[in-house]
Homo-oligomer: A and B are copies of this chain.
């Protein structure tokens, strides 16, 4: 059995907050094999990745894209977080972030942000996951995995889903059948994006309750090691972009 425990962290998360301590306070004693999933917004806030829009001067491009639809200062922040614009419809921007994630608004978010502020993605979500994991392991004497999760839209299907943007302490992909398909009869991939499945599972408790930026998944026992960037399909291997 797998269990998903919501971890309501105490108080508002501010720059410099000790996320590991807040998680340890909210969680039952950690056990080896646990997966701690943290919403990117908690990580970003603790890392000070919050922009006061009053300090942002929109560029001509941001003004043009925003039009009457959106706040040009927020669009300016999106452009700064983007390596390139992948698709655009009006003020809706699907961008490739500097990390290589392709997502709406380059991950810039104004929900659950202070008034007139925007929350950015962490600078290095894999690094954030690794740092948090090191602290949690040190304090608990266990071997765990940490996932930094965001909710992302996707091509072809409606709705956003919990998605792994930072991973530490587990391999994000798992091959179900290894090389057993030498017969050439593989019609479909059997490599499962388990870090994304864990992020989606956690989002069932992150999204449903207010002020629950973290979840503990127990009973899955992910193995190996790796990074969320392995989940990004290289552009030359993607058939849709």
Contact = CB atoms under 8 A, between A and B. Distances in A.
Contact of A185 (B74, B173, B193, B230): B74
- Kindly report how many copies of this chain are found in the complex they form together: 2
A197 B94 CA distance: 22
A239 B92 CA distance: 10
Contacts of A160: 188-193
Interface in A106-142: 108-111, 118
A141 to B, nearest CB: 24
Contact of A176 (B156, B157, B173, B207): B207
Interface of A: 1-6, 69-71, 74, 78, 87, 89, 94, 102, 104-105, 108-111, 118, 151, 153-163, 172-174, 176-177, 184-194, 196-198, 200-201, 203-205, 207-208, 220, 230-233, 238-241
Given A155-B239, A207-B176, A232-B156, A109 B192 contact: no
A104 B158 contact: no
